[in-house]
Amino acid sequence: MFNSDFLSPFAVKKDYQNSPASHRILSDSFLSELYSKIPKLRHTQISAEDFHDLIRDFFSFREVEDLLIICIKYLKWEGLHDISESLHPEIVLPIDANNDVISKKIKNILGRKTYFTACLECNRFLPTFHAPGSTCYSCLEINHGLIF
C-alpha cells in the first residue's frame, strides 16, 4: 500500500541518491510517447532525439522500495568557474504509477521556468541554467558578442 506519510522530502532524502534508476522511463518507447504528449515542445527547437538526451541528462528516476522518485539534476554556479550539481527530488509516486501519470508529472516539471525554458532568440528548449535571463549562451555569444 502506498503510504503518503512517506512523501515528506526529508523521508525521501535518506536513500534515493543511491537507489537504482528506473529504466522503464528512460526507454526509447517511453520517451517517444512522452515527447508526442507535449505538443508545446514542437513549437520550440527540440527534436525527439534531443528531447531524449535532455531527459536522460537532467532527470533522474529512482526506485526506493515501493516508490518512484522523480529527481531533477540542478546546476548552479559556485563562483566564476565552478558549477555545482545536485539532485532534487521533485515528485514521489507509487512505483507502479502508470505511464500517463508519470508523463503528466514530467510535463509539469518541464513547464517550470526554474528548471527549463525556451531561448527567446533561437527558441531552443533547454535547462534554464544554460539560458540565463531566457537567452542561451550560444545566442549571447553569437548575437551579442559576449565571450564565456
Query: Which residue ranges make up the site for Zn ion (CB under 5 A)?
Result: 119, 121-122, 136, 139
- Which lies closer to Zn ion via its Cβ, residue 37 or residue 130? 130
Give min distance, CB of 68 to Zn ion, in A: 33
Radius of gyration of the chain (CA): 17
- Which lies closer to Zn ion via its Cβ, residue 79 or residue 133? 133
**Residue that has been written with the C-alpha cell 518541464 in this structure:** 110
- Which lies closer to Zn ion via its Cβ, residue 26 or residue 137? 137
- Which lies closer to Zn ion via its Cβ, residue 46 or residue 69? 46
Q: For residue 96, with 0-12 CB atoms within 10 Å meaning exposed, 13-18 middle and 19 or more buried, which class applies?
A: exposed
Give min distance, CB of 125 to Zn ion, in A: 10
Give min distance, CB of 123 to Zn ion, in A: 7
Cell of 8: 515528506
Give min distance, CB of 45 to Zn ion, in A: 8
**Residue that has been written with the C-alpha cell 538526451 in this structure:** 53
Cβ contacts of 80 within 8 Å, gap of 6 or more? none
Cβ contacts of 33 within 8 Å, gap of 6 or more? 99, 103
Looking at the chain, how many residues does it have? 148
